[in-house]
């Protein structure tokens, strides 16, 4: 691979996807080829009598290889059983040879006739069989019998097959037939059993009336996105990429995407569809969760990052690297790997979320995109917080801010509803809020032990709904899902800390308070609609902003109508913050303490206001025993009214058993005696 400075992915590089140096090196002496075992995520390099393999998941460039011994012979295909106890090697068009790793025993399975060609095979976790042979006559389903060290034929699916494609990720095999290879049968072999798809045909344009273009296997791709299975088909004449969605009882064409290259490769990274325009040497990103065929961003090249400077030739140009990045030796592997078979380099494709988020001015759409990311959830979350904060600092139009806020609120609400977020913030468990439109940190719909859902599940809300049940992949079948440890969704307390409070600190103008309050009000409205408990500090900030603009009448209405929810924190702000400038606002705080039955705080407040006799009556009525007697005694003594002090002493003598023997009683009895016109207690 040629390398140069511009391909190293510096800060100024324009790209939304990249591979990182160093790669996983899978080259060994005497290798007869490279094979990808997607069932076990192994890259395999056989020699004349050995099998060298590298684990590709989790992807680690420094991973050590493992070696197994086999007998000499040709290798057309090779795969380990899913429990890694057997090795299967296709030796010819009619024979597959097996090795039992533990004992070294071997056996073979052959076609019954020379004309019945074995096109390939794959191991499966299907409930009824262990391995499937794909032949020109259809499928043969076998179980492995350890005692006999042989295969037992369980079933055969008779159908003419020209070629096939299969991914372990989807558990789906598509069988092509017909003169143009555009007629397909499909079977999904999952832990729930075998499901047969109805036969369907793929669309192919003709260059002229008499032409009959033939569809090749390299033009058909099975992809799994958000737990749903699609087939993407390149129409070279029409220069379109047709999309098909699989249902239990139907295969529905979902539309088409334009392509700009006769050779197309497909990757899926964190549920984002990457369409590699190989001839044009660029990638177009699509997020097909949303009901849109609009690309996430403009077409941009794939970059290599992390190259050591010593390996970069100053005489090479950017075009040299771009050409070699999409050489004929590149083989794209499901879902996000690419192998250079000439060098044995295996690369993992990554998304640059920061570059993607910076590439669009449509911040609400970018937030929707980021909220759905899971592989780099923390980075996505941080970008969301920074984006919202930035557009508020820039004073973008309020409708834009409102849309952005609603994206984050509905996404958080949905994550609570689906259980993909730890409920650190109290919520109404009976929430009946709807599924967010165009925003979700959602988990793809799961199935009960199999590959199909029973209805068009909620994660499909923004895709066109069709009659019929979805062909799905359960969560345990998806590597990307099993790696999810967190969510990009943002709870209200973090929005307050990292956005609202931060923006308030930078506000200077009088109008800024009204601007920020409008945003808070929209957040509160959206949160209430989703039945999310709003953090009290957000209400406190709302009170403070209204007070800053002296909007006391409005503040009163917001409090009385409980748009600003009552809490101790809000009451304190009404009393000691805004209330210090407006007596009516302070009264709202007093009433809120009583409304919340915060009896101790209410009694202390009355004493501070000099209403200690009223405080005593309130304490007696509500049995408040947590207030220190000295608080009342000090206030009564400071009034210089012996009648008040005597009344307080009598109250505590009756209210607190043993009060007459305390040092406080002794101290204030003496003080009472020293006061003019003293009264005997």
Structure confidence by residue, pLDDT tens digits, 43-78:
999 998 899 999 999 999 999 999 999 999 999 999
Q: Exposed, middle or buried, 63 (CB in 10 Å: 0-12/13-18/19+)?
A: middle
* pLDDT tier at 610, thresholds 50, 70, 90: low
Q: In what order do the strands lie in the sheet with 106-110?
A: 77-80, 86-90, 95-100, 106-110
- Can you tell me the mean pLDDT for 226-231? 94
> Residue 674: what pLDDT?
78
Spell out where 354-396 has E strands. none
Q: Which domains does the chain have, with CATH numbers?
A: 17-308+327-356 (2.130.10.10)
Structure confidence by residue, pLDDT tens digits, 570-602:
999 998 888 788 889 888 988 898 888 887 777
- Can you tell me the mean pLDDT for 668-672? 81
pLDDT of 458 over the 90 cut = no
124, 144 Cβ separation under 8 angstroms: no
pLDDT of 313 over the 80 cut = no
Give the DSSP H or E segment for 667: helix 663-674
Structure confidence by residue, pLDDT tens digits, 176-208:
999 999 999 999 998 888 999 999 999 999 878
> Residue 667: what pLDDT?
83
Mean pLDDT of the chain: 83
Structure confidence by residue, pLDDT tens digits, 517-556:
999 999 999 999 999 999 999 999 999 999 998 999 999 9
Structure confidence by residue, pLDDT tens digits, 135-180:
999 999 999 999 999 999 999 999 999 999 999 999 999 999 999 9
Structure confidence by residue, pLDDT tens digits, 395-442:
999 999 999 999 999 999 999 998 877 543 334 433 333 323 333 333
Task: Compute the distance between CA of residue 40 and CA of residue 102 in angstroms, rounded to an integer.
Answer: 18
Task: Compute the distance between CA of residue 518 and CA of residue 620 in angstroms, rounded to an integer.
Answer: 43
Structure confidence by residue, pLDDT tens digits, 257-283:
999 998 999 999 999 999 999 999 999
The DSSP letter of residue 480 is: H
Structure confidence by residue, pLDDT tens digits, 556-565:
999 999 999 9
Task: Compute the distance between CA of residue 325 and CA of residue 319 in angstroms, rounded to an integer.
Answer: 10
326, 316 Cβ separation under 8 angstroms: no
Between strands 95-100 and 24-25, the pairing is unpaired
C-alpha count within 13 angstroms, C-beta hemisphere, residue 110: 7
pLDDT of 320 over the 50 cut = no
Say what the pTM is. 0.80
HEC profile for 203-242? CCCCCCCCCCCCCCHHHEEEEEECCEEEEEEEECCCCEEE
Task: Compute the distance between CA of residue 438 and CA of residue 288 in angstroms, rounded to an integer.
Answer: 10
- Spatial neighbors of 630 by CB under 8 A, at least 6 apart, are 664
| C-alpha distance across the termini of the chain, in Å | 99
């Amino acid at each position: 691979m040629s390398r140069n400075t511009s391909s190293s992915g510096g800060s100024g590089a324009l790209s939304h996807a990249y591979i990182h140096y160093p790669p996983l090196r899978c080259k060994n002496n005497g290798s007869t080829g490279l094979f990808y075992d997607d069932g076990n995520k192994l890259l395999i390099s056989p020699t004349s009598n050995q099998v060298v393999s590298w684990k590709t998941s989790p992807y680690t460039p420094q991973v050590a290889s493992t070696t197994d011994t086999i007998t000499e012979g040709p290798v057309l295909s090779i795969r380990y059983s899913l429990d890694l106890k057997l090795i299967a090697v296709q030796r010819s068009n009619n024979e597959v040879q097996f090795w039992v790793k533990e004992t070294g025993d071997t056996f073979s399975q052959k076609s019954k006739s020379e004309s019945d060609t074995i096109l390939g095979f794959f191991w499966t976790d299907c409930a009824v069989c262990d391995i499937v042979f794909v032949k020109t006559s259809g499928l043969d389903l076998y179980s492995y019998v350890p005692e006999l060290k042989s295969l037992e034929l369980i079933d055969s699916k008779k159908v003419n097959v020209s070629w096939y494609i299969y991914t372990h990720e989807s558990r789906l095999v598509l069988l092509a037939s017909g003169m143009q290879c555009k007629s397909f049968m499909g079977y999904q072999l999952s832990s729930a059993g075998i499901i047969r798809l109805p036969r369907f045909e793929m669309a192919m344009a003709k260059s002229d009336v008499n032409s009959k273009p033939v569809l090749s296997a390299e033009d058909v791709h099975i992809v799994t996105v958000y737990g749903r299975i699609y087939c993407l088909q390149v129409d070279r004449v029409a220069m379109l990429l047709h999309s098909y969605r699989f249902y239990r009882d139907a295969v529905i064409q979902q539309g088409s995407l334009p392509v700009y290259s006769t050779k197309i490769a497909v990757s899926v990274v964190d549920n984002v569809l990457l369409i590699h325009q190989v001839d044009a040497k660029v990638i177009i990103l699509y997020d097909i969760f949303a009901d849109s065929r609009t690309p996430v961003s403009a077409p941009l090249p794939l970059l290599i990052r992390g190259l050591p400077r010593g390996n970069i030739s100053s005489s090479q140009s950017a075009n040299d690297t771009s050409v070699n990045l999409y050489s004929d030796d590149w083989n794209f592997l499901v879902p996000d790997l690419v192998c250079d078979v000439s060098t044995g380099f295996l690369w993992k494709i990554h998304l640059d979320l920061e570059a993607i988020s910076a590439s669009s001015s449509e911040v609400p759409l970018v937030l929707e995109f980021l909220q759905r990311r899971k592989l780099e959830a923390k980075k996505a979350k941080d970008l969301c917080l920074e984006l919202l904060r930035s557009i508020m600092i820039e004073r973008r139009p309020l409708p834009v801010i409102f849309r952005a806020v609603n994206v984050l609120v509905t996404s958080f609400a949905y994550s609570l509803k689906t259980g993909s977020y730890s409920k650190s913030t109290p919520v109404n468990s009976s929430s009946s809020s709807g599924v967010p439109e165009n925003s979700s940190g959602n988990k793809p719909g799961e199935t009960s032990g199999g590959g199909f859902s029973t209805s068009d599940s909620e994660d499909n809300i923004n895709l066109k709904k069709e009659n019929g049940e979805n062909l799905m992949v359960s969560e345990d079948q998806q590597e990307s899902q099993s790696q999810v440890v967190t969510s990009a969704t943002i709870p209200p307390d973090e929005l307050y800390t990292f956005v609202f409070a931060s923006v308030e600190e930078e506000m200077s103008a009088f109008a800024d308070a009204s601007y920020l309050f409008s945003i808070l009000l929209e957040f509160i409205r959206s949160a209430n609609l989703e039945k999310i408990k709003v953090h009290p500090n957000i209400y406190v900030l709302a009170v403070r902003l209204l007070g800053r603009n002296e909007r006391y009448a409005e503040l009163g209405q917001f409090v009385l109508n409980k748009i600003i929810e009552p809490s101790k924190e809000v009451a304190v702000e009404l009393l000691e913050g805004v209330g210090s400038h407006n007596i009516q606002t302070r009264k709202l705080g007093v009433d809120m303490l009583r409304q919340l039955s915060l009896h101790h705080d209410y009694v202390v407040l009355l004493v501070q206001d000099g209403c200690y006799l009223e405080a005593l009556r309130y304490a007696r009525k509500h049995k408040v025993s947590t207030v220190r007697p000295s608080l009342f005694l000090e206030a009564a003594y400071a009034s210089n009214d012996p009648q008040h002090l005597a009344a307080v002493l009598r109250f505590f003598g009756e209210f607190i058993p043993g009060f007459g023997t305390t040092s406080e009683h002794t101290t204030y009895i003496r003080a009472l005696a020293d006061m003019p016109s003293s009264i005997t207690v």
